[in-house]
Amino acid sequence: MAAGLAQAAISDPLAPQGAQLVDPFGREIEYLRVSVTDRCDFRCVYCMSEHMTFLPKRDLLSLEELDVLCSAFVRRGVKKLRITGGEPLVRKNIMWLFEALGRHLESGDLKELTLTTNGSQLEKYAGELKAAGVERINVSIDTIDPDKFKAITRWGNLATVMRGLDAAEKAGIKIKINAVALKGVNEDEIPDLVRFAHGRGADITLIETMPLGDIGEDRTAQYLPLSVVRARLMDHFTLQESPYRTGGPARYVKVEETGGRLGFITPLTHNFCESCNRVRLTCTGTLYMCLGQNDAADLRAPLRASEDPALLDAAITEAIARKPKGHDFIIDRRTKTPSLARHMSVTGG
């Protein structure tokens, strides 16, 4: 089976384009986020416990299987693929997958291949990513204070990430900075983060902490509403509403003083589901139709049951028919427990 998958991934024989994936609410599914691993070389305090138990490697889909699954979605009208983790660049031989998926960019069936990364491996892979067709990436940086960076990530080194940013810029990759707003941690630094990103010619998106998984911390102590952050930023900057969209959940403003774009992702204070055009595939072949719901579809079984794509195609169609209208994110302030038991690193950021 593996050999057949590898051959299919390399030759990619012509297959008829299936019907566009449309959910029950008329939203065309054009965006697939793919977690290639639940492992990470950081242990960010808002994402996971310091002592995580990761999936056995035998449970993960092979890179060839991930390619076949991604290609099935491209045939059904997905135009944007985002590779995530965990930290995607720690997956062994991960560049094979980027290079394989790059053929869909060359054919024009795929409009964008990108990734979200913590930046730890960018210095090593930036050139290869660009060569594979990656034009734009998201890099997670919650602080530009080296000591605070170490405290937030537990295992990370800011200097390494900065070298990664330099390498990506040198390769010609457009960077967007993602920063999680954390009460009492980086809230006073957010104006400086905006200036830092815009000073490098990068957009920046601020994100509310998402209640996913037990992290060994009190999430009510971490939660900082972006409505509060935005109000405070208006003491520093002039914020102008912007129609700019990337296909994700961020809503953007232009910062008049810097000329750069600033995005807000607000899963808790403002539900962003009305225009959701994305689904998430895990490294084990589970498809989550909504980040904030537990309902999921097993695509690994039909993938491995037959090399005939019809079985997998039918499973994808059935899954999209169950995509809900929106999520139910909430932090329970009585029990201080997360909305969902699974960690963000399982589903992909």
Q: What is the CA radius of gyration of the chain?
A: 20
Does 27 count as an annotated binding residue? no
Does 325 count as an annotated binding residue? no
Q: Is residue 213 part of a domain?
A: no
pLDDT digits (tens, 9 = 90+) for 259-307: 999 999 986 555 556 778 999 999 999 999 987 677 899 999 999 999 8
Q: Give the pairing type, strands 80-84 and 31-35.
A: parallel
Cβ–Cβ under 8 Å, residues 186 and 21: no
Cβ–Cβ under 8 Å, residues 200 and 162: no
Confidence of residue 80 (pLDDT cuts 50, 70, 90): very high
Could you give the count of Cα atoms lying within 13 Å of 32 in the half-sphere of its Cβ?
A: 30
Q: Is residue 214 part of a domain?
A: no
pLDDT digits (tens, 9 = 90+) for 220-250: 677 899 999 999 999 999 999 999 887 677 8
| DSSP secondary structure letters along 76-118 | TT--EEEEESSSGGGSTTHHHHHHHHHHHHHHTS-SEEEEEE-
Q: Is residue 100 part of a domain?
A: yes
User: How crowded is residue 121: how many other Cβ atoms within 10 Å of its Cβ?
Assistant: 21
Confidence of residue 338 (pLDDT cuts 50, 70, 90): very low
The region that residue 213 occupies, defined by phi over 0 for left and psi between -120 and 50 for alpha, beta otherwise, is: left
Cβ–Cβ under 8 Å, residues 94 and 85: no
- Could you say which DSSP state residue 210 is in? P
Element (H, E) at 131: helix 122-131
Does 43 count as an annotated binding residue? no
Does 53 count as an annotated binding residue? no
Q: Is residue 245 part of a domain?
A: no
Q: Which two tokens stand for residue 123?
A: 């210095």
Q: Which amino acid is at 314?
A: A
Does 283 count as an annotated binding residue? no
pLDDT digits (tens, 9 = 90+) for 89-123: 999 999 999 999 999 999 999 999 999 999 999 99
Q: Is residue 265 part of a domain?
A: no
Does 304 count as an annotated binding residue? no
The domain that contains 111 carries what CATH number? 3.20.20.70
CA neighbor of 289 nearest in space, from 301, 300, 277: 277
Does 44 count as an annotated binding residue? yes
Q: Is residue 200 part of a domain?
A: no
Does 276 count as an annotated binding residue? yes
The rounded distance, in Å, linking the Cα atoms of 23 and 129 is 32
Buried b (16+ CB within 10 A) or exposed e, 267-299: bbbebbbeebbbbbbbbebbbbbbbbbeebbeb
Does 47 count as an annotated binding residue? yes
pLDDT digits (tens, 9 = 90+) for 15-52: 456 789 999 999 999 999 999 999 999 888 888 777 77
The rounded distance, in Å, linking the Cα atoms of 291 and 22 is 18
Does 349 count as an annotated binding residue? no
Q: Give the pairing type, strands 112-117 and 80-84.
A: parallel
User: How crowded is residue 118: how many other Cβ atoms within 10 Å of its Cβ?
Assistant: 28
Q: Is residue 34 part of a domain?
A: yes
Reported pTM: 0.85
Does 85 count as an annotated binding residue? no
pLDDT for residue 16: 53
Does 279 count as an annotated binding residue? yes
Q: Is residue 185 part of a domain?
A: no
The region that residue 265 occupies, defined by phi over 0 for left and psi between -120 and 50 for alpha, beta otherwise, is: beta
Does 140 count as an annotated binding residue? yes
pLDDT for residue 292: 65
Structural domain boundaries, residue 121: 2-177+272-347
Q: Which amino acid is at 98?
A: F
Please count the structural domains in the chain. Answer: 1
Of all residues in the chain, what percent carry a pLDDT higher than 90? Answer: 69
Does 125 count as an annotated binding residue? no
Does 210 count as an annotated binding residue? yes
The CA-atom distances, in angstroms, between 69 and each of 63, 65, 299 are: 10, 6, 8
